[in-house]
Amino acid sequence: MRIEPLLSAEAIREVVTCLGQRISQDYADKDLTILGVLTGSIVFVADLMRAIPIPHRLGLLQASSYRGATQTSGELTLEVSLLPDVRDRDILLVDDILDTGKTMSAIVSKLSAYGPKSIRSAVLLWKKERTVVEMIPDYVGFEIPDAFVVGYGLDYDDRFRHIPYIGVLDTSDADQAPS
| Secondary structure of residue 14 in the 3-state scheme | helix
CA distance 71 to 161: 18
CA distance 1 to 13: 26
For residue 18, count other CB atoms closer than 10 A to its CB: 13
Active site residues: 99
Residue 91 · residue 41 · CB < 8 Å: no
Q: Which residues contact 130 (CB under 8 A, 6 or more apart)?
A: 99, 100, 146
Q: Which residues contact 24 (CB under 8 A, 6 or more apart)?
A: 52, 53, 54
CA distance 143 to 166: 13
Residue 128 · residue 145 · CB < 8 Å: no
